[in-house]
Structure 1
Amino acid sequence: MPTYRRSSIIDADFETVWEFYDTVDELPILTPDWMGLRVPRVIGPDGQPDPDGYLVGTEIHLETRPLDLFTATEWVVEIVDREVSENRASFVDEQVGDRGPFEAWRHTHRFVDLGDETLIHDRIEYRVPGGGERPLATPFLAGMLWYRHRRTRALLAD
């Protein structure tokens, strides 16, 4: 599958960065407005709404309406992996079946303690409908992650 990666060093301690990212509340804040993202519901692995943090089995129901011009698209991702230690954390979300704009989607989020700074690394493996890589997919992902990392710096940097 095509893969896109982006890493940044954030001038904020690991605990601050991880605490910010380990909640669905950060999604609208870190998503460009033009994507028209809404999070209508989050269902925890126990079936309860709005769990604390990204627990394995959590389903995140998203709705996107790019540029407010297109029909809203449902996108459901599930947290399929999560690891947290004293100086590292990660979680992985995958698109649930065909419930989204991609044929396949796997997004790995990693965070590493660098002392007073934190490394954030995103890796997205994807396949667009019809298979392969489409010319607009990579610039779209690049722009989305560039925005996300830039916003993280602006919001959390000391």
Structure 2
Amino acid sequence: MKLYTLTSIQQLPISREEAWAFFSDPRQLGSITPGDMSFEMIDDLTEPMHAGMILRYRIRPFRFVQVQWVTEITHVIEGERFVDEQRFGPFRFWHHQHRFTEIDGGVEMQDTVHYAMPYAFIGRIAHPLIVRKRLEEIFAFRKEQLQAHFGPMNQ
């Protein structure tokens, strides 16, 4: 199994507590997901994030392809980091760690995703041609939305 890694880092002019409040609320996912993905949370989640929490949603990662994705929050260190792992969905393996570090004037957020493609040889061909590019587009969109919502870092 070929394991890929994608890392995204962004600095925002907010406190770590404010960042945690936003990102630990799964209902915020729709606001930072590209509209063409038709993101839809299946469950109405109102409880605070915790290890063992199951998140179910529908997404359209590519035109004409809709999938149900089920992830589990497997690790939570309040205010610092959490991990979501795919249980059912489009990848063979998905481990996404979210880290929040206080910096001068704000917070640095780091997303590290380790993932593996399904379908063996076909997945390895599709990865550089389609999937990697799409994941990078999703994280670029997320950065734009977060900067629009929270403002840019003062340089």
Task: Please give the TM-score of this superposition, normalised by the length of structure 2.
Answer: 0.85
Aligned partners of 1:137 and 1:124: how far apart in 2?
Answer: 13
Does the Cα contact within 8 Å between 1:24 and 1:53 map onto a contact in 2? no
Higher helix share: 2
Aligned partner of 1:122 in structure 2 is 111
Unaligned runs of 5+ in 2: none
1:61 maps onto 2:52 in alignment? no
TM-superposed CA distance for 1:93, in Å, is 0.4
RMSD of the TM alignment (CA)? 1.8
Deviations 1:32-80 (A, max 9, x none): 00111100116xxxxxxx243321000000101246x424211000001
DSSP-derived class of the 2:48 partner: coil
Aligned partner of 1:90 in structure 2 is 81
Aligned partners of 1:28 and 1:125: how far apart in 2?
Answer: 22
Runs of 4 or more consecutive aligned structure 1 residues displaced over 6 Å after TM superposition: none
Unaligned runs of 5+ in 1: 43-49
DSSP-derived class of the 1:5 partner: strand
Aligned partner of 1:39 in structure 2 is 41
TM-superposed CA distance for 1:14, in Å, is 1.6
Task: Please give the TM-score of this superposition, normalised by the length of structure 1.
Answer: 0.84
Deviations 1:93-146 (A, max 9, x none): 0011xx201011111111111143110100011111124641122111111111
Percent identity reads 26
Given the superposition, is the C-alpha separation of residues 157 and 16 from structure 1 closer, same or farther in structure 2, using an over 3 Å criterion?
farther
